[in-house]
Amino acid sequence: MIDSENTAVTGRSPCPVSCSLDLLGDKWTLLVVRDLLLGKKTYTEFLKSPEGIPTNLLAERLKRLQAAGIVDKSRYQERPVRHAYHLTEKGRDLRPVLLAMINWGNKYIPGTVTRAQIAAMAPHLVEGE
């Protein structure tokens, strides 16, 4: 495992929950990860998600996720220049966290889109496990 972007404990405590929250603990970061797991790739695609992330926060979160080695960015075409964001292995490994939230949300927040409904639209997020 390459360790370059895996910052060692610098946060509030050496608890893995606390350290994860130092990186991911806000209302937007994991929604960006969700969108990436759903196959969205570009800045404007993220902006179109129904929660409506403010554009400055999207830019800032993408930078932090890149700095943390969770996301990487590439040009996928020149003329006109277009960029694509992708999850690294470290980012894809957040899938169990999101799946646990989906299961919990479905069980306790009536009206949420179910895991089955998500599977129908976006099999790769939810299948297996």
Q: Contact residues for DNA (CB under 7 A)? A: 26-28, 42-45, 52-57, 59-60, 62, 73, 79-83
Taking CB under 8 A as the rule, which mask of x and - marks residues 68-97 in contact with a second copy? ----------------------x--xx-xx
Taking alpha carbons only, the member of 40, 26, 114, 97 closest to residue 71 is 40
Residue 111: name its binding partner from a second copy, DNA, none (Cβ under 5 to 8 Å by kind): a second copy
CA atoms within 13 Å, Cβ hemisphere of 97:
17
Q: CA dist 28 to 23, 25, 47, 48, Å? A: 11, 9, 12, 14
Question: Measured from the CB atom, is 46 or 118 closer to DNA?
Answer: 46
Stretch that binds a second copy, among 11-19, 40-48, 58-66, 74-82 (CB under 8 A): 11-19
Distance CA 74, CA 13 (A): 34
